[in-house]
Amino acid sequence: MKRVMLFLCQGLEELEAAAFTDVFGWTTTYGLEPVELVTVGLRPKVRCAWNFTIEPQYLLDEIDPDSFDALAIPGGMSRSGFYEDAYDERLLQLIRRFHHSDRWVASVCVGALPMAKAGVLEGRRATTYQFSDKRRTQLKQMGAQLCDQPLVEDSRLITSQNPASAVAVALRLAEVLTSRANLERICEGMGFPVPEPL
């Protein structure tokens, strides 16, 4: 069974994380091929952007990163402390570890920025929150080729523009880890239209 690590940073947007928990949850109940999702963080309790508090299943130092097939990073809000964890060297090293071993790294919205800070988007096509010139400029300054598209995929790296793209990112990750048929089955069960092939 494939495994996805969902990394929960302080200040994350709840909706962006929930897209992954729901899509991969559906793989285990309705899909043709289950994918295990495991939540991981740097702290035992994570305060989210809109006042939820959640508890990762594991702290980063309690798990073996090499037992996972993909890493997913929801975005978050700076005013809620997102970059405290997003720019932590432990997460940056984790991103590099996944990328250098040719495993998938997927992000939503400003979740692209720790990917860029880790250096894995250097010279790669990528996107981030489309209504923030500051974040778009930061992405470019860290070496990415900024693309104005809702979802951008380049060399097993997935980035996207906003919370509305979270489900599309999660569905794409499910597809590349399993199959097109599994994606279609999940979309059927959840009531989402099947995305066009990339």
pLDDT in tens, 56-76: 999 999 999 999 999 999 999
Asked whether the beta carbons of 152 and 128 are under 8 A apart, the reply is no
Task: Return the SS3 of 52.
Answer: coil
Half-sphere exposure of 173 (CA within 13 A, CB side): 36
Alpha carbon 173 to its chain centroid, in Å, reads 9
Per cent of the chain over pLDDT 70 is 100
Find, among 154, 172, 150, the residue nearest to 163 by Cα: 150
pLDDT in tens, 106-122: 999 999 999 999 999 99
196 occurs within a structural domain? no
State the total domains in the chain.
1
Residue 43 pLDDT level (bands cut at 50, 70, 90): very high
CA pair distance 133, 152, nearest whole angstrom: 18
Q: Find the domain containing 66 and state its range.
A: 2-190
The stretch 171-188 carries a mean pLDDT of 98
Residue 98 in this model has a pLDDT that exceeds 80: yes
Query: What CATH number is attached to the domain comprising 23?
Result: 3.40.50.880
CA pair distance 10, 42, nearest whole angstrom: 9
Find, among 73, 69, 48, the residue nearest to 159 by Cα: 73
Q: How many helices (H) and strands (E) does the chain have?
A: 7, 11
Residue 16 pLDDT level (bands cut at 50, 70, 90): very high
Residue 42 pLDDT level (bands cut at 50, 70, 90): very high
pLDDT in tens, 133-153: 999 999 999 999 999 999 999
Cβ neighbours of residue 10 closer than 8 Å, sequence gap 6 or more: 42, 43, 46, 47, 76, 80, 81, 82, 84, 85
Predicted confidence at residue 198, as pLDDT, reads 76
Task: Return the SS3 of 195.
Answer: coil
195 occurs within a structural domain? no
159 occurs within a structural domain? yes
pLDDT in tens, 158-176: 999 999 999 999 999 999 9
Predicted confidence at residue 197, as pLDDT, reads 84
Alpha carbon 108 to its chain centroid, in Å, reads 5
197 occurs within a structural domain? no
Q: What is the mean pLDDT of the chain?
A: 97
Predicted confidence at residue 19, as pLDDT, reads 98
132 occurs within a structural domain? yes
48 occurs within a structural domain? yes
198 occurs within a structural domain? no
CA pair distance 138, 148, nearest whole angstrom: 15
